[in-house]
Amino acid sequence: MQLYSSQLTQHLQQHGLAPIVCVFGDAPLLVDESVQQLRRFARQQGIDERQRLLQDAQLDWSILHTASANLSLFSTQRLLELELPEGKPGREGGEALRSYAEQPSQDQILVIIGPKLKQEQQKAKWFQQLSKVATMVSANNPERQQLPRFIQQRAQRYQLQLDPSAVQLLADWYEGNLLALDQELQKLALSELPPPVTAALITSHSEDQSRFNVFALQEAILAADLDQALHKLQRLFEGDVEPAILNWALQREWTLVFSLQQALAAGQSFSAAAKQQRLWRSQEPAYRQFVQRMDASAMQVAGQLLSRLEYAFKGDSGDHYPTLVTQLVALYCRPQQLQQLPL
């Protein structure tokens, strides 16, 4: 049975846990929430024992069939979670999953967790066999046209009333980053702003709290206002911004500019390319200038800085993370001064 993550709660209440449940998706927030729902429901059904497996080179696939034999004296069923980091179990793993799907254990619930699968992965024999017997949960990022409805539903969960302008603003800011969106909605719910919350209230609230989020930084970058961008970046560092969110925002700008440049090189008009990238019409003039000022040399250096940012964030290099971020922001704003940057 195929269903969306938003349908999982109702499905469990009506049909219970299937012997096999697969959760695949490109939205970490929705994947995690789906798994948490499965765990809670399992506990409510008296399944207190849980084991988690991660697919790697050392995984013994026979454990799918033998794990239930190791149940404790006080357990009759176990929740066995299997994470496939790349959605590719390999030949041995694929055969093990196909075999297990043909005869699932009665003593355990198998939950398979992985990323969004490509078409060729969905055509694999192991996936086809799982699809016949498993509950298949899709936990993907909503498409742009679906995002406003998703935001309204999440806001209702936190008893937060948003007007259309606020929904549009949040959709523009957080497309592709549901984790940051959810955190922002929780903060707004605790802020005691008068309902319905408008876009103007969200913006003024951030300013009143003297906190500049990554989207204010993006606005300064789009305006090529280096002084404001560096000021807002400093406030982000003072506020202990999550590096993962900052990296995402800076990478998003590079990817967007690169995609626009590629479309223009292929003969598309800027308006058509902007529409394809789901830019608001009001954003087009700023992005047109951004694309024009970032030539091939600047894009190459920006790409190198983004790679170094990832390593610095993970502690795998000797680079100073704030310095790299500052260099990248300066490059985005004033690429003509590229040769002056100590890269």
Reported as a single tens digit per residue, the pLDDT across 4-55 is 999 999 999 999 999 999 999 988 899 999 999 999 999 999 998 899 999 9
Better-scored residue on pLDDT, 66 or 49: 49
pLDDT in tens, 249-295: 899 999 999 999 999 999 999 989 988 888 877 788 899 999 999 99
Q: How confident is the model at residue 98 (pLDDT cuts 50, 70, 90)?
A: very high
- Other Cβ atoms less than 10 A from the Cβ of 66: the count is 10
pLDDT in tens, 155-166: 999 999 999 999
d(CA 173, CA 180): 9
What pLDDT is stored for residue 171 in this prediction? 87
Please state which of the ranges 12-16, 202-206, 210-214, 281-285 shows the lowest mean pLDDT: 210-214
Q: What is the DSSP letter of 338?
A: G
**Does 244 or 108 have the greater pLDDT score?**
108
Do 130 and 112 meet the contact criterion of CB atoms below 8 Å apart?
yes
Query: What does the alpha-carbon distance between residue 89 and residue 28 come to, in Å, rounded to a whole number?
Result: 20
The 10s digit of each residue's pLDDT in 76-92 is: 688 999 999 889 999 99
Q: What is the pLDDT of residue 275?
A: 86
For 13-80, give the DSSP string: HHH---SEEEEE-S-HHHHHHHHHHHHHHHHHTT--EEEEEE-STT--TTHHHHGGGG--TT-S-EEE
Task: Kindly indicate the confidence band of residue 70, based on its pLDDT and cuts at 50, 70 and 90.
Answer: low
Region 202-226 average pLDDT: 73
| Cα atoms found within 13 Å of the Cα of residue 35, Cβ hemisphere only | 22
Which amino acid does the sequence have at 157?
R
Between 318 and 106, the more confident residue is 106
Which token pair is 190? 């605790």
- Quote the CA–CA distance of 119 and 99 in Å, as a whole number: 22
C-alpha to C-alpha distance for 256 and 263, rounded to whole angstroms? 11
Q: Measured between alpha carbons, how far is 24 from 84 in angstroms, rounded to an integer? A: 9
Helices and strands, counts by H and E, the chain: 17, 6
Cα separation, 335 vs 98, whole angstroms: 53
Domains of the chain: 1-136 (3.40.50.300), 144-207 (1.10.8.60), 211-335 (1.20.272.10)
> Where residue 209 falls among pLDDT bands split at 50, 70, 90?
very low
> How many CB atoms sit inside 10 A of residue 253's CB?
21
pLDDT confidence tier of residue 74, bands split at 50, 70 and 90: low
Integer Cα distance of 297 and 182 in angstroms: 37
Nearest to 98, CA basis, from 67, 124, 63:
124
Distance CA 201, CA 183 (A): 17
Backbone phi, psi, residue 341, to 5°: -80, 135
pLDDT greater than 50 at residue 208: no
Rounded to an integer, what distance in angstroms lies between the CA atom of residue 78 and that of residue 50? 6
Lowest average pLDDT, out of 4-13, 109-118, 165-174, goes to 165-174
Give the pair of three-digit tokens for residue 123.
Answer: 């055509």
At 343, list the tokens: 């890269």
DSSP code of residue 194: P
**Contact status, residue 321 vs residue 253, Cβ threshold 8 Å:** no
Per-residue confidence band for 57, with pLDDT thresholds at 50, 70 and 90: confident
Q: What is the DSSP letter of 197?
A: B
Write the single-letter amino acid at 79: L
pTM, 2 dp? 0.63
pLDDT bin (cut points 50, 70, 90) of residue 298 is very high
Three-state DSSP at 162 gives strand
pLDDT value at residue 296? 92
**What phi and psi values does residue 24 have, to the nearest 5 degrees?**
-120, 140
pLDDT band at 206 (very low <50, low <70, confident <90, very high): low
- Please state the rounded mean pLDDT for residues 106-124: 93
